[in-house]
Amino acid sequence: MSKGYPCPYLPLCLWMSADFPSNEFEELADECHNLAFEFFRAVGEPPVCVSGDSIALIARLISEQASLPSAVASLKNMPLSLSMSGPAEVMRCAVAEFIIGKALTDHIFVDMYFRKPDLRHAVSTMLDYLEARDSYAEAEDSHAQSGYLRREPMVRIQLLAEAETDNEARLRVINSAKRDVCDSLDHLLPSSFTRDVFHGRLEELLAQAMDLWGPLQRSKFRASAEFAVTAQLDRQDDFYTEFGGPVEGEQAEPIILLFPQISIANEIICSAKALWSDQAIVVAAKEELEKARNHGKMKKQEPPKKLMKRRLSVRQREIPVPSPGVSSGEGRPDEVKQGLIGHGKGPQSSSDVTAVVALRSKEVLSGPKT
């Protein structure tokens, strides 16, 4: 048994060009992006009906992601709003892309498929341990210049023989990923028909991801998907034109991930995709949200319209009006003093109020009676 083939049962399915899996995953990332923008951006159509509950749900999901040790606090600064403007819609599309990418990482891009999540987690933890031991042993073994039999791929291949790979298991994995996505995003779609179309397209995308990931599960070196902000995150300003390039003077940091980083051993074959805080569309969405908040504060400082009407009615009560039957050209009888607007006496029309004002002005000009 040679050093190059640690297990006789290990199929040679990854002896391929490094560009092949990289290109495939780049295309998958593009399809995730296009799917999100096709269904969650109202281009040439009536605005998508967005409820407050759905925005709160997405904001909570982002907040939970930000609380993970591998994420960054700036993830909470995603400028989400109920606005139907272009920047606001793009932000919601980015969140949809985030949710799809996370579902791919949690359900599809895993070491192997088991019905019980606890078992799958235990297997991944064990493989992490064996992989670390192999790396350490290989480093030590290099000094002795002798071959070392890596244990991680042998154990992984043996466990894969026990994993569920039939059509029923495949459908179950796809449905689990689909459920995670639809529970969060269905509220953002305007009709049941649109949801059905989206569900069909999503299933096709998840099936394509499983076909792409399957051979990597049996590769000579372990493949992994990491949906977290790391030091290796590559800045790709012009990756998606909808987000725009960097704005000068803005702080640059990733605020939301869109697609996971795919690695084989220590080699990154597909860099993670992220939305950055200084990209033009993010800056525009933040400015719009800030203006909306400031406008809300100004409205709170203005006196309510009901209060203004009440103040006006108080002033009107102070103006006396003549009793019925008294013309504006005659003298001012005593009963006029008792004719007050709002007390059930005297007319309450604007013409009567004008007549009273004219009458009192005439008295002032003519002086007191003798």
Rounded Cα gap, residues 221 and 242, in angstroms:
36
Rounded Cα gap, residues 116 and 262, in angstroms:
24
Torsion, Cα 77 78 84 87, to 10 degrees, reads 100
Rounded Cα gap, residues 214 and 13, in angstroms:
10
pLDDT at 354: 52
pLDDT at 13: 43
Residue found by looking up tokens 């907040």 in the block:
63
Rounded Cα gap, residues 350 and 231, in angstroms:
75
Rounded Cα gap, residues 294 and 297, in angstroms:
5
Residue-averaged pLDDT of the chain: 74
Alpha-carbon distances, residue 88 vs 210, 242, 288, 324, 348 (angstroms): 32, 12, 8, 61, 51
pLDDT at 156: 87
- Three-state DSSP at 226 gives strand
What's the predicted TM-score (pTM) here?
0.69
- Domain residue limits, the chain: 19-298, 305-366
User: In this structure, are residues 157 and 13 in contact, taking their beta carbons and an 8 Å threshold?
Assistant: no
pLDDT at 225: 94
Alpha-carbon distances, residue 231 vs 76, 254, 261, 273 (angstroms): 19, 11, 12, 13
pLDDT at 210: 95
CA within 13 Å, CB half, 311: 6
pLDDT at 181: 94
pLDDT at 3: 37
pLDDT at 57: 64
pLDDT at 110: 92
Output the six-digit token pair for 280: 């033009």
pLDDT along the chain (370 residues), means of 10: 38 42 89 94 54 64 57 65 85 92 95 84 87 76 58 85 80 94 86 90 97 90 87 71 88 88 89 91 92 71 54 50 49 45 46 52 53
pLDDT at 258: 93
